[in-house]
Structure 1
Amino acid sequence: MTAAASRLAGVGVDFGTTNSVVALAYENGEVESLSWPSQFGATDTYRTALMFWREGRRIAHASGPAAIARAVAGDGEQRFIQSIKTYLASRLFSETRLYGQRFTIEQLVATFLSDLLADLRLSAGANAVQIPILSGRPVVFAGEDPDEDLAVARLQSAYALAGFHDVALAFEPFGAAYWYARRLEREETVLVADFGGGTSDFSIMRFSRKDGALTARPLAHTGVGVAGDSFDYRIIDHVIAPKLGKGAFYRSFDKRLPIPAYFHAAFAQWHQLSWLKTAQTLGELRKLIQSAEEPEPLEDLMSVIQHDLGFELYRSVGALKARLSDEESARFSFSREGIQIEADVSRAEFEAWIAPDLKRIGACVDQAVAAAGLKPAAIDAVFLTGGTSFVPSVRALFTERFGGPRVHIGDAFQSVASGLALIAAERVGAGQTG
């Protein structure tokens, strides 16, 4: 905390599917983000990931950059878990067992949040729990048939388990909107698009100033469970999964049968990959390898699961997406534990793969504008935040609807948490934030 001359007034937490951010707002109006050490230097984004392993009779864990470091090193038997936020709204997932110990979804999230906010607790001491904290939540939670009330209850319970009992929740795009609007001197109607790992959320706000104070009137909020992870899935499905046995066949009692789809369906979803590392699943995979027509791809799949290579694959997919945002074509390359996957991918191919996702995102944007009772021409500014906003075809959704000059791209990761911290500092209640 560098703004020591001013007292801490509010904290904003962007608990994300892929990355999480904590911002601190001070009484003098300054805002800064917490940072953490990593193997690549200090970082102000905390990877939403957990790693568990056994130390004697106890179960140890690491989170954020430390979990990533262990995942990359691949030291010994361990369990890597990421995208835990995706499970909050699922009635089908309530708990899991790690090395024989039961962990509820609330306990997993609380373990992560406790580590994420450890520096805040260390710096503020006993006062940490008294500082107003505003945590973001998606407009629509990720997953099929998400239970919003269940997700909110689980998230609030997780904060309480982590020692923070009075955390208020606000829509994530509202935080980004407030951050964008903090320097406005005139009235503006702003559409904010917040692209996360699991969801894409949209808010339309009317901002104005009265006696120097910024006021906000929400006009519409919409969201859809399509975002960066969905784009990753398309790359996995077209480039990686076929190299790991998708579409292969095995023999059973003289019958030629396809490899069960659930292996690759789960494998393609980052947050499900870690759950494949069970004795039952690995035993089934070994039997399939023995009877497969082409066992080598399935052996590679086994290696990916056993060696917790999910993050390494994730990083390679992310690098490909980033290059395709700047180049017309790029090469995908992955090489670990004897697994070699190489493929040339064009931006046109990638855009064809994500076309169904873009259609859903565009429809959700149109729904927000209609729900606000506006026409596109009435939107004064569009503010995009989140890593997916850098994908050219995503930006095109907004420039085609609202015109290029009105579209602004903010800090990919800091906007939401920074805006939430300002709101918390000004003591805007959760009921007023949406």
Structure 2
Amino acid sequence: MAANLSRNGPALQEAYVRVVTEKSPTDWALFTYEGNSNDIRVAGTGEGGLEEMVEELNSGKVMYAFCRVKDPNSGLPKFVLINWTGEGVNDVRKGACASHVSTMANFLKGAHVTINARAEEDVEPECIMEKVAKASGANYSFHKESGRFQDAGPQAPVGSVYQKTNAVSEIKRVGKDSFWAKAEKEEENRRLEEKRRAEEAQRQLEQERRERELGEAARREQRYQEQRGEASPQRTWEEQQQEVVSRNRDEQESAMHPREIFKQKERAMSTTSVSSPQPGKLRSPFLQKQLTQPETHFGREPAATVSRPRTDLPGEEPAPSTPPCLLQAEEEAVYEGPPEQETFYEEPPLVQQQGAGSEHIDYHIQGQGLSGQGLCARALYDYQAADDTEISFDPENLITGIEVIDEGWWRGYGPDGHFGMFPANYVELIE
């Protein structure tokens, strides 16, 4: 709500006029509110200057002071407006009276300096006069300007500034200048020499440190080489042992692989086919068949030759029940015996150690060729060849001309006519 100046308007105007009148003895006027209302009233006037006005300020009220002072620089009258908000005024009252400052400034016109004060330190006379002096802008006395032009009496004659040149003094001055120039040069040389010596000492220390580090590194390297030389024989022997063990393990693993078994058997078969017959029993029935009759290809039907009784080789004892046992003995010899051991022929005691586990395979081997295509099987799953030695097939495909070369791997003719190996557990023999 705005401040009300109309209720006590005549009294307010009278107090203001008495302060601004130059010849009036009243030099300050103080205004405040009536109770908690917004009506402005005159709190007091006086002729004692700022000191008297400061004593009338109340720390529990919001007040406005208008004073006339003399500018310390020019001596002219200046007007000061003080917006006083005591420390004991509550915040609600402060907020309500904040908008009244501009209203009071419009009423108390002509103020050269405006001061917003909250404590006694802000309204000290010295502080107020200092602000008035700074606000004047010029440090001059208006009433004393004319005194400069008053005649102060006869003036003395103007003296000359010429001085006669003195050779002795000039020589001394030049010598003094050269002395100081020489001293400055010597000082500069001394500083440069000290700087050079410091840099040289720094380089020397750096060189010594570098040499010391290189020496320590060389000694460490020598100790490391000595320790390595002591441990080298033992480490070399251990590495050799590890290499031997690793090589043996790789050889055993490669020998156990079905493809390696098949390759070993093929090499043994080729060696046996070109060598002279040895006394003993043939290990595999399909090798015996290869020696007595031509190989049966896919699409042919040599039923007559297959149905005839098998003829024994010269010098060979008949053994009708031995082929399955010999086949199992071959497997054991390949897996358990060394690679260089001759396993193509076996002694008769090995035949007695065999069980009935190979009777089913022997039944199919002896019955192969009944359909004109050898031992046949039907594919249960699809299989893709890993290399050229294997065949590929899909479920329900027929595989003919099967040769049982291993318990887990057989070989025969695939659907595309290619001859190769395949896993035995992927097919089902046809009765």
Q: Which has the higher contact order (CA 8 A, sep 6+)?
A: 1
The normalised TM-score by structure 2 is 0.21
Which structure: greater strand fraction?
A: 1
The normalised TM-score by structure 1 is 0.21
